Amino acid sequence: MKWDRTSVRYGTLLLTASGLVNQLLGFVYRILLSRLVGAEVMGLYQLVMPVFSVLLSVTAVGLTAAVANLTAQYRALGRETAAEQVLGRCLGLLLCLLVLPALAIFVLSDPISVHILGDARTRLGLLLLPPCVLLTGVENLHKHAFYGAGLVRPPAFSEVLEQVVRTCAVLGLLLLFLPQNPERTVGLIVAGMVICEVCSACTLTLLWRRRRGAGGTPEPGKVLDRCIAQVALPVACTALLGNLMGSACAVLIPQKLVEGGMEVSQAVSSFGVMFGMTLPMLSLPTAFVSAMGLVLMPRLSRAAALGRWEEVRRRVSAAMLAASVLMLPAMALLSVLGPDLAVRLFREPEAGACLPPLAVMVALSCWRSVLSCALNGVDRQAAAARNALLAGAAELLLTALTVGIPGVGLQGYVAAALASELLGLGLNLVSLCRAAGLRPAWFRWLVAPGLSALLMGLDVNLLFRVLRDRGLSGAVSGGICLLFGAVVYLAALSAQGISFRGLLGLEKKRVCRRGGTW
């Protein structure tokens, strides 16, 4: 059998493989980084990163969606020249959009660090963010041009290269210049990110120029600008407001922890452990969902442009099933093995706290991400934007109300995140059902994978305790439980009529002489 290199399955699996490598490299990078700089500096770094996300949403996020969608649409219509125009126009818009925010950062870095982020030690990291945002935007625009063109190998190669360079650059700078005060340490981390983005932006630009095509009629400038704005503005506004609320939530959490009775350094450390260690560990398996979304959205855009709504429904249903089948067992395993794993890797006793509810939250966010990607792909950006904003507002409000309560602390954030993800998931599902006539397949999407993952989790939890009581090490016990859990999960899936091999496209249909299939 040969893979169809233009299929969603091939692109998803290739990006998943590269994403898993990338996630593993990033996870090792975070482990080494946390051991080098400590929980408090990790907390300061996590305070700087929301500003990075806000700058990206102002400048690049909407443009990347426009590049992916419009490139796919123009190529489906045989208009290669117009597809090339989209990338060039978006690169120019990126530079124009970054000018004012960069000036604001340079002029107002002191007030932003002290009065908004709540810690003056974030100032140097802030000053280094604008060049990093520019290079990241150039990189992401070229990546999404490749995705829109149905080419996934160049971005996959670039992502792995990017993570390797980031690890070497950041850790190399820290090893060369440490010890430093916390502000300079955060600056060194961001400087390493800038070096990494230079490499990624140059690599993808050169790869894109090698495969540039031509053909078809060009698009008039005004029409092209209108098409870009129709896609980019809703996505950019959603991303901006969502990131503003997420940034407000991130900045609010340490302050609320202090209100609840924590010392400032302890609050920043707890924040760093949760967002710099625990959540990144849970995010490791989400490489598949991210990869699937990047490949799925241009396909849905192309099918919707051609009026193939049955294809849209089929692709969305398959994506939801794939997300459930792969994410639910991963979250079940991390709920059981994660506490021991987190403490061993990060050497922080709090790194394994609240894992089961956080695992549920990550699973909900994966489903919500698939549905949001589908809404963007079928030209329902406004609905996706509205739903994301309502969910973000709910998370911010609940976080503000609960985290500062003495004795609640970060558990209030966990409850707020669960509630917001559930709300966003429900809103996205209703919107997509109305837009594409989708009918939820609850048994295949949720019941069968969920029951299989629950059975596996209970069995693995029991086996892990027995093996540890018998004196086996955590690593050996975890490896045995991983293999045993995989067998239990696949058997339970098969018993409910879901073939894992069929989901991956590894089953081959054989045609009998009478014209049927076996």
Handedness of CA 445, 447, 451, 452 (dihedral sign): negative
Could you tell me which of 110, 453, 355, 402 has the C-alpha nearest to residue 256? 402
- What are the φ/ψ torsions at residue 403 (nearest 5 degrees)? -65, -35
Determine the pLDDT at residue 135: 92
Residue-by-residue DSSP string for 185-239: HHHHHHHHHHHHHHHHHHHHHHHHHHS----SPPPPHHHHHHHHHHHHHHHHHHH
Determine the pLDDT at residue 427: 93
| Distance, CA of 377 to CA of 504 (rounded, Å) | 23
pLDDT tens column, 428-480: 999 988 888 888 888 888 888 889 889 988 888 888 888 888 888 777 888 88
Determine the pLDDT at residue 409: 83
Chunked mean pLDDT (size 10), the chain, 518 residues = 50 63 76 81 84 86 85 76 83 90 88 82 88 91 82 79 88 86 89 90 87 67 81 79 78 82 79 78 76 74 80 86 87 83 74 82 90 84 83 88 85 90 92 86 87 89 85 80 88 80 49 36
- The reply to whether the predicted model has a pTM over 0.75 is no
Determine the pLDDT at residue 32: 84
Determine the pLDDT at residue 506: 42
| Distance, CA of 10 to CA of 323 (rounded, Å) | 16
- Tokens representing 472 are 């086996």
Could you tell me which of 229, 375, 389, 398 has the C-alpha nearest to residue 304? 375
For the chain, what percentages of helix, strand and coil (3-state, to nearest 5) are there? 85, 0, 15
Determine the pLDDT at residue 348: 73
Determine the pLDDT at residue 134: 92
| Centroid of chain to Cα 379 | 21
3-class DSSP state of 36: helix
For 312, the enclosing helix (H) or strand (E) is: helix 309-346
- Tokens representing 98 are 């970054």
Q: Write the CA distances from 161 to 111, 138, 200, 211, 288, integer angstroms.
A: 36, 16, 7, 20, 18
Q: Do the beta carbons of residue 449 and residue 436 sit within 8 Å?
A: no
| Distance, CA of 386 to CA of 274 (rounded, Å) | 28
| Distance, CA of 258 to CA of 255 (rounded, Å) | 5
| Distance, CA of 426 to CA of 433 (rounded, Å) | 11
